[in-house]
Chain A
Amino acid sequence: MNHVIKANEVSLTYNYTNRVLKSVSFELEGNKIYGLLGRNGAGKTSLLSVLSAFTKPSYGSITIDGEEIFENSKLTEKIVFVRDINLEVEKQRLKKYIQEISVFRPLFDHKYADYLIKRFRLPTDQAVSKLSRGMQSALHVIIGLASRAPITIFDEAYLGMDAPAREIFYEEVLNDYMEHPRTFILSTHLISEMESMFEEVLIIDQGKLILHEEADVLRERGTSITGSAEVVDQFTAGKKILKEQSLGGTKKVMIYEELSAKEREHARQVHLELGPITLQELFIHLTKEEE
């Protein structure tokens, strides 16, 4: 089932003065993979905390299918919010730990959890507290995926995992999303690794939502232009330039602006090379600009 998440002017203030979210509004139509990007301290975790009912917004509202999420038992069981938390006090063995959590998740798939335990090569005979940080991260991911919650949120839960484990995670998110479509929200710093997964991207900076766009549209908006420095300068004059690099007489400029067919044709005529830019490059420069 498709669940529409709507944030309306959501603000969050800590200790009456520290405003960590500033009038954030967006609508997620659901059953997509969303990327939530932002620099450290931008407000990603605060926004996800409000969405998961960990905290009540100071102002504004956040709803699922028109119903307020905070203290709504019917909705909170549909949200799983996975963070990379330390499990050093958990003395149970892995399967028992999963078993105890699964009672709160009506759609929990134990077979899938077992499959993921094998895939991530987690030892089932050890106490959870004895697992390495990477293994604990994998355990969080297993619970997040096997819960099959209609709204599954991963807040950098995979940072402790090594590259092969992260690769498994990306594969499993995509496979499980295809088999059991639902809303995934992935908050990350590892944009280059994950950008191909995102269908929509939200960028948050200093507590404000500065961008919410389809990932493909966003990528099309950014273009890299390479060629003779003089020609490049002429071509990009008046355009929104993100980054410039020069080497000898050659220059590469990244712009954040969609080029018309006529402009593209003109670029070819003057021997300029046009190319895409990555989401990471866009993110770096968009958030830098806001400083």
Chain B
Amino acid sequence: MSEKKSFIAAKSIIKTTGNWMLWYISILVFIQIIFGIILVAFGYDKNGMPFLDGETSWTIIHTVSNSANIYFLVTGILSLGTLLKYYISNGVTRRDFFRATIISMFTLTIGLTLIVSVLYGIETIIYSMNGWIRDVSVNFMYFVKMAVELSIYFLIGMFISAGFNRLGVILGVGICFLSVPIIIIYSVVWGELVDLPLLGVLQFGGIHFAFALLGSLAILVILCYFIRSLTKNIPVKA
């Protein structure tokens, strides 16, 4: 029965947050089309890069990846506010709500990644039909990383929200600061360049994909553990 409740709640959360996501992606596509038109009409891309000889370095993936992390962070913050209250009011337990949120998180991050990959595909077709060239290429690993990264930002949003709710403002702010090293560790795990003040640039080269995935999974599990511990008995104001 309990599992059934988590799936009912998950379906409901996916419906709500999925609706927000569709609005979000529609706006991004609209922006991308506008920039595309500007690019073709005026010969410059949105970074001011010259669109010379039919070549550009900006794709829908860049448009999404710049904002999707923030979008998922905010969705994570909201999920422990209004959404928790709504589901507790409807007889869903905190445990079932937590399971439902995690199910919906994976559904939405995978969903957005799939949508972006399809849009990227369409964009590629449009480029090749017009004989334009892109100096950007992405592979399967890139999309896996994108889904994982969005999940981490979502959980950080939940973690911050849980911290403010359960530990008060001072410790809540502390959790905001704690999220910075979490992101740094995540970036290091994926072999990205991390520019640290005072310490200079940090990078572990030659990171294996499986190691990066396992490292990310460990971060996800640790975040889930802390969120669940903080929200196990979270009170909801009537």
Q: Is the CB of A53 within 8 A of B233?
A: no
Q: Are A81 and B1 in contact (CB under 8 A)?
A: no
A contact residues around B1 at 8 Å (CB): 73-74
Contact B235 A79 (CB under 8 A): no
The contact of B96 among A56, A73, A78, by CB within 8 Å, is A73
Measured CB to CB, the closest approach of chain B to A22, in angstroms, equals 18
**A53-B5 contact, Cβ under 8 Å, with A71-B94, A72-B93, A73-B93:** no
CA gap between A287 and B236 in the complex, in Å:
28
Q: Is the CB of A83 within 8 A of B238?
A: yes
By beta carbon, the residue of chain A nearest B6 is A73
* Most chain A beta-carbon contacts within 10 A, residue among B88, B94, B232, B238: B238
Tell me whether B5 and A73 are in contact (CB under 8 A).
Answer: yes
Q: Hey, what's the 0/1 contact readout for B85-102 against A, CB within 8 Å counting as 1?
A: 001111111111000000
A257 to chain B, nearest CB (A): 37
B130 CB-CB contact with A under 8 Å: no
The chain A residue sitting closest to B95, CB to CB, is: A71
Is A54 part of the binding interface, using a Cβ–Cβ cutoff of 8 Å? yes
Q: Say whether B88 contacts A104, CB under 8 Å.
A: no
**Residue B12 is within 8 A (CB to CB) of chain A in the complex:** yes
Chain B residues with CB under 8 Å of A54's CB are: 88-89, 235-238
Dominant SS among interface residues on chain B:
helix
Q: How many residues on A have C-beta within 8 angstroms of the other chain's C-beta atoms?
A: 28
B137 interface contact, C-beta 8 A:
no
Which residues of chain A come closer than 8 Å to B2, judged between CB atoms? 73-74
Chain A residue nearest to B11 (CB atoms) is: A103
Q: Which A residues are CB-close (under 8 A) to B92?
A: 73, 76, 104
Determine if A49 is an interface residue (Cβ-Cβ < 8 Å): yes
Question: Which A residues, 91 to 118, have Cβ-Cβ distances below 8 Å to chain B?
Answer: 100-101, 103-105
- Contact of A79 with B94 in the complex, beta carbons under 8 Å: no
Cα–Cα distance between A73 and B100 once the two chains are bound (Å) = 14
Contacts of A70 in B (CB 8 A): 233
B8 within 8 A of A: yes
Partner of A80, one of B9, B88, B91, B232: B91
Which residues between 52 and 105 of chain B lie within 8 Å of chain A, taking CB atoms?
82, 87-96
Nearest CB on A from B51, distance (A):
40
Interface centre among B8, B15, B87, B89 (most CB of A within 10 A): B89
Q: Say yes or no for A155: interface residue by CB 8 A criterion.
A: yes
Q: Bound state CA distance, A80 and B91, in angstroms?
A: 7
Given the interface pairs A89-B82, A100-B12, the reply to whether A48 lies near B238 with Cβ below 8 Å is: yes
- A101 CB contact (under 8 Å) in B5, B90, B233: B90
Q: Inside 8 A of B93's CB, which chain A residues have their CB?
A: 53, 71-73, 76
Q: Which residue of B lies closest to A12 (CB)?
A: B235
Who on chain A is nearest to B8 by CB? A103
**A73 CA to B95 CA in the complex, in Å?**
9
**A273 within 8 A of partner (CB):** no
The residues of B that contact A76 with a CB separation of less than 8 Å are: 91-93
**Which positions 2-31 of chain B face chain A at CB distance < 8 Å?**
2, 5, 8-9, 12, 15
User: What are 9 A-B residue pairs whose CB atoms fall within 8 Å in the complex?
Assistant: A48-B238, A49-B236, A54-B235, A70-B233, A72-B93, A74-B1, A103-B12, A104-B92, A105-B90
Beyond the given A55-B236, A103-B12, could you list 11 further A-B residue pairs with CB under 8 A, ordered by the A residue number?
A: A54-B235, A54-B236, A55-B235, A71-B94, A72-B93, A73-B5, A74-B1, A81-B238, A100-B15, A104-B5, A104-B92
Residues in chain B within 8 A of chain A (CB atoms): 1-2, 5, 8-9, 12, 15, 82, 87-96, 232-233, 235-238
